[in-house]
Amino acid sequence: MRRGVRCIRHFLPAIQRQEYNHSFSFSRSQRNWLYANCVSAYGHGVDGRVLCPEFFISRALSADVAKVSPSDVTRGGPLVEYERRIAAGELVDGDSCQVGTLRELQRLYDEIVESADACRLDRYSTSDKSGRRRWLWSRLIPQSSYSPVKGLYLYGGVGTGKTMLMDLFYEQLPNNWRKRRVHFHDFMLNVHSRLQRHKGVSDPLEVVAAEISDEAILLCLDEFMVTDVADALILNRLFGHLFCNGVILVSTSNRAPSNLYEGGLQRDLFLPFIATLKERCVVHEIGSSVDYRKLTSAEQGFYFVGKDSSNILEQKFQQLIGEQTAVMQQVEVVMGRTLRVPLGANGCAYFHFEELCDKPLGAADYFGLFNKFHTLALDCVPIFGLHNRTAAYRFVTLVDVMYENHARLLCSAEASPVELFEKIVTISDARQMAPRTSTRSMRKDESNLCVDNELGFAKDRTISRLTEMNSKEYLEQHAAMLAIN
């Protein structure tokens, strides 16, 4: 029996890798950018639009500066996969700044492969102790096992390919390894849910960290962004336990580590986490200034601006639900909570902006919503400023969750995506604007100006994603996804 199990364990990783390669899918931003270059080779889909069934087409990296040496080809990893796709014609010219990041990921890949046994990555050779049992055992015999391999923290501007490059790295690693790729919002929701489950334990964070590290030694977190004080206060201790358990962190962010949670409440308690992050991860900046999400088609899609935009939104919503009748529904979210959906039918939900972003809702509610609905019609999105800063934060989170879940957005708004956030500025932006004088108000010195560093940085990502989500390419991919499901 044991010999049979060992035999299965020997062949299972290869089988899983084959299955994983067949199901491989690249990030939305890089698919959208290349869509126009490949659609002519494929058939037509919904409404006569061209559909591309190959979701694994990746965003371009510069062929002339990204030559892979013969020594690279002899091993595996993201650089080799990149070269294969260049040869297969799946990549075209693009951003040379991403090549340096690929080499960092290749270095990490090589180190992890060489230290796979020491890092305890093989899920079939690890202990079957639960997180709680491991925690109880650690009470008797305290131990620390930092990974011999440092992780990687990638940061850069919006739309520069951070997610695509991290996914390229992640997909090359064997499926029998303890690895996990998740959006940071989703990760923290899971952490808080686990903490609730272990209420009453003397150190529930240690138990949660033990559970997470039992499931995944390699942890890939996308869109690392700290805005919630509750998250900020537990991150240092949580990741202190995770790193002690041997976890290797790979993450992407728009912010450098030193700029995380800048200006946040009780930030002095968060600063030790930044030091821990720098100690356990190599920090690498992607220096590209190109936002590839904005290289999609300039079609308006379902983003409506104007005095009749609400009526148009209602008409489009009715067209999408077809002959079904939209009714009020309830959606389950974490920890037994529910979210009221005013109107829902045929996978489409209809909300007024105030019902979704002016109420005390968060990422957990939005994830629950898009677990059931693939399309959101959002009416009356306002221009953001000092008077509705909290709603702006929720809207940013809503767009992040929609983007992560490949959801479709229909919305009516007071202005274009850029204009919605014009009054949201960072401290640096505010210093460059003309101050109010004693004799008159300068034109740019508006009373509703909102100076907020976190929101000021996050707005660029939201504008970028709104632009992509309303492009022809994104909507065609959404239609193709629905056809598959």
pLDDT reported for residue 43:
34
Place of tokens 């491989």: 24
Model pLDDT, residue 58: 36
285 has pLDDT over 60: yes
Other C-beta atoms lying within 10 Å of the C-beta of residue 202:
8
Report percent pLDDT > 70 for the chain: 73
The predicted structure's pLDDT at residue 90: 67
More confident of the two residues 368 and 444: 368
pLDDT above 70: residue 114:
yes
The residue ranking higher by pLDDT, 274 or 291, is: 274
| Per-residue pLDDT at 32 exceeds 60 | no
Q: pTM to 2 decimals?
A: 0.63
Task: State the pLDDT at residue 115.
Answer: 93
φ, ψ of residue 30 to 5 degrees: the values are -75, -30
Average pLDDT of 220-243? Answer: 92
| pLDDT in the model for residue 95 | 54
Which one, of 474, 295, 339, lies nearest residue 399 by Cα?
Answer: 474
∠ CA 234-240-246, nearest 5°, is 135
Computed over every residue of the chain, the mean pLDDT equals 78
Tens digit of each residue's pLDDT (9 = 90 or more) over 439-454? 333 444 456 789 888 8
Three-point CA angle 90, 95, 98, nearest 5°: 90
Mean pLDDT of 8-27: 39
**Hey, what are 346's tokens?**
């045929």
Lowest-confidence range among 110-124, 439-453, 457-471? 439-453
Structure tokens at 236: 């240092």
Residue 229 pLDDT > 50 = yes
More confident residue, 301 or 339: 339
Contact 377/411 with Cβ under 8 angstroms? yes
**Residue-by-residue DSSP string for 274-330:** HHHHHHHEEEEEE-----GGGGS----TTEEESTTHHHHHHHHHHHHHTTS--EEEE
Residue 288 pLDDT grade (very low, low, confident, very high; cuts 50, 70, 90): low
Would you say residue 11 has pLDDT above 50? no
**Residue 358 scores a pLDDT above 90:** yes
Region 402-410: mean pLDDT is 92
* Residue 36 confidence (pLDDT) above 50: no
What pLDDT does 251 receive?
96
DSSP for 318-387, please give it.
Answer: HHHHTTS--EEEEEE-GGG-EEEEEEEETTEEEEEHHHHHSSS--HHHHHHHHHH-SEEEEEEEPPPSGG
Give which of 300, 349, 299, 359 is closest to 327, Cα–Cα: 349
Q: Which pLDDT score, from 0 to 100, does residue 236 have?
A: 94
State the pLDDT confidence band at 399, using cuts at 50, 70 and 90.
very high
Is pLDDT above 90 for 301?
no
Model pLDDT, residue 6? 43
Bridge pairing between strands 338-345 and 327-332: antiparallel
Q: What is the pLDDT of residue 264?
A: 83
Residue 96 banded pLDDT, cuts 50, 70, 90:
low
- Nearest one of 59, 301, 39, 323 to 168, comparing CA atoms: 59
Mean pLDDT of 323-332: 93
Task: Using pLDDT thresholds of 50, 70 and 90, give the confidence band for residue 299.
Answer: low
Point out which residues pair with 252 in neighbouring strands.
154
Does residue 23 register a pLDDT over 50? no
pLDDT reported for residue 13:
41
Higher pLDDT, 299 or 280: 280
Rounded to an integer, the average pLDDT of 336-362 is 94
The mean pLDDT of 5-19, rounded to a whole number, is 41
Look at 284 and 68; give whichever has higher pLDDT. 284
The pLDDT value recorded for residue 380 is: 95
pLDDT at 162: 84
User: Distance between the two ends of the chain, CA-based, in angstroms?
Assistant: 39
Res. 431: pLDDT tops 50:
yes
For residue 231, the Cα-to-chain-centroid distance in whole angstroms is: 17
pLDDT at 294 over 50: yes
Q: What is the signed CA dihedral for 350, 352, 353, 356, rounded to 10 degrees?
A: -60
Q: How far apart are CA 151 and CA 153, in angstroms?
A: 7
pLDDT in tens, 118-175: 999 988 775 444 445 554 555 554 555 889 999 999 998 776 778 888 988 999 999 9
Q: Which residues pair with 303 in a beta bridge?
A: 411
- Alpha-carbon separation of residue 91 from 29, 60, 314 (angstroms): 14, 5, 40
Helix (H) / strand (E) containing 86: helix 78-87
Quick one: pLDDT at residue 356? 96
